């Protein structure tokens, strides 16, 4: 499969997203790597046995010293304690301000590695090597890095751009089916917010994506990255337009925090969250019931949950509202939602608590 390249245009912070098959073992020839004497590969105990040696061998002619740090896998480990393990490794190996960090894994590894890169010596270069669909189409692109807090997801972090993103589609062959479905949530969101032609393509291509057809996956990853590149190029720090990329995330993050990180995968929360956000859009008079039904059908075909969980048996909607007030889009305690302002267009706006309660009561079981 031919390698494809997409540029994130951010002036002196611009970089390439390289998409193709079997890029991991040839990463030094894929694109220009940051120059340094040392590199640190950061991965987890699920991905390391599969791909760490391959990446290390591919980098051996580019860096004199290559170390590998293996962290525990899972959203529940995306915290200060795990982040400090990265700093420990950097200091123990006497890494300098040119040391390159390679994030080999999914969104958790990418977010933590990027945050560590932003902080260590006030900024060192890093490269994203995403091995999950979710990371390839979303979290590895755009420079949002963070860790979780028990009270809210991704509340502590920094905007810090990688110098390169390498998406090797072959790594998706080893992705568990549940993780593949979770990644499809982030794929699906791009249609309702920006490109209804892409949503139509997803409706006709979902079976191929679930079967891991390389051609279908390549197109999905490329189109998602194209849309995200366009958005990030206009609004790097999420002061306006970029917030639309959080469609379904306000509800989804509440689910993750309320259930305990790791109980629901991020994409599962986003899947149910998109349905809830679409229901809210309908109740606000922005879309019709047909659009909501269409989105529900696509989310269901991807193997994602349609209903959110019950977080509190006494006042479930109240618990959701409490968690969503910690969302990064909230202003002065007012929750702001990404809603669909007609198919293919998204806006960020507030909604009355009473209306949000109706949506939660209707969409949780």
All domains of the chain in start order, with CATH:
4-174 (3.40.50.1970), 177-363 (1.20.1090.10)
- What was the pLDDT predicted at 332? 77
Look at residue 365 and tell me whether its pLDDT is greater than 90.
Answer: no
Burial of 80 (0-12, 13-18, 19+ CB in 10 A): exposed
**333 in the Ramachandran plot: left (φ > 0), alpha (ψ -120 to 50) or beta?**
left
CA–CA distances in Å: residue 51 to residues 264, 291, 309, 338: 25, 41, 35, 37
Q: Residue 50 pLDDT > 70, yes or no?
A: yes
Active centre residues (catalytic): 122, 144, 186, 228, 238, 242, 246, 249, 253, 266
H/E stretch holding 231 reads helix 214-234
pLDDT per position as a tens digit, 298-313: 999 999 999 999 999 9
pLDDT band per the 50, 70, 90 thresholds, residue 1: low
Give pLDDT, residue 339.
98
CB 231 within 8 A of CB 238: no
Q: What is the pLDDT of residues 212-226, one digit of tens each?
A: 999 999 999 999 999
Burial 189-204 (b: 16+ CB within 10 A, else e): bbbbbbbeebbebbee
pLDDT at 66: 97
**Mean pLDDT on 188-204:** 98
**Residue 6 to residue 16: CA distance in whole angstroms:** 6
If you average pLDDT over residues 55-79, what whole number do you get? 97
């Amino acid at each position: 499969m031919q390698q494809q390249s997409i540029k994130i245009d951010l002036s002196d912070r611009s970089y390439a997203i390289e998409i193709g098959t079997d890029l991991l073992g040839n990463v030094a020839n894929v694109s220009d790597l940051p120059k340094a004497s040392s590199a640190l590969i950061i991965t987890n105990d699920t991905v390391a046995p599969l791909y760490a040696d391959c990446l290390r061998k591919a980098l051996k002619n580019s860096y004199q010293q290559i170390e590998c740090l293996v962290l525990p896998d899972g959203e529940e480990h995306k915290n200060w304690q795990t982040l400090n393990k990265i700093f420990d490794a950097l200091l123990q190996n006497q890494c300098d301000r040119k040391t390159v960090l390679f994030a080999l894994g999914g969104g958790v590894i990418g977010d933590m590695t990027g945050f560590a890169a932003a902080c260590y010596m006030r900024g060192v270069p890093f490269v994203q090597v995403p091995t999950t669909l979710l990371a390839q189409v979303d979290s590895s692109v755009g420079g949002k890095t963070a860790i979780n807090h028990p009270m809210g997801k991704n509340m502590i972090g920094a905007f810090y751009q990688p110098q390169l993103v390498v998406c090797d589609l072959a790594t998706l062959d080893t992705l568990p089916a549940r993780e593949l479905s979770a990644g499809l949530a982030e794929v699906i969101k791009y249609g309702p917010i920006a490109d209804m032609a892409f949503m139509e393509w997803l409706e006709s291509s979902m079976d191929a994506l679930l079967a891991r057809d390389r051609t279908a996956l390549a197109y999905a990853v490329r189109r998602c990255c194209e849309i995200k590149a366009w958005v990030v190029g206009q609004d790097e720090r999420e002061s306006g337009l970029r917030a639309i990329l959080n469609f379904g995330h306000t509800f989804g993050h509440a689910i993750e925090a309320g259930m305990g990180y790791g109980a629901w995968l991020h994409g599962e929360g986003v899947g149910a969250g998109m349905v809830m956000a679409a229901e809210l859009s309908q109740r606000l008079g922005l879309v019709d019931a047909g659009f909501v039904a269409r989105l529900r059908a696509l989310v269901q075909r991807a193997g994602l949950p349609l209903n959110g969980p019950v977080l509190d048996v006494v006042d479930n909607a109240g618990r959701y509202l409490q968690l969503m007030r910690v969302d990064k889009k909230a202003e002065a305690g007012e929750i702001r939602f990404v809603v669909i302002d007609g198919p293919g267009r998204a806006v960020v706006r507030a909604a009355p608590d009473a209306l949000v309660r109706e949506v939660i009561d209707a969409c949780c079981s």
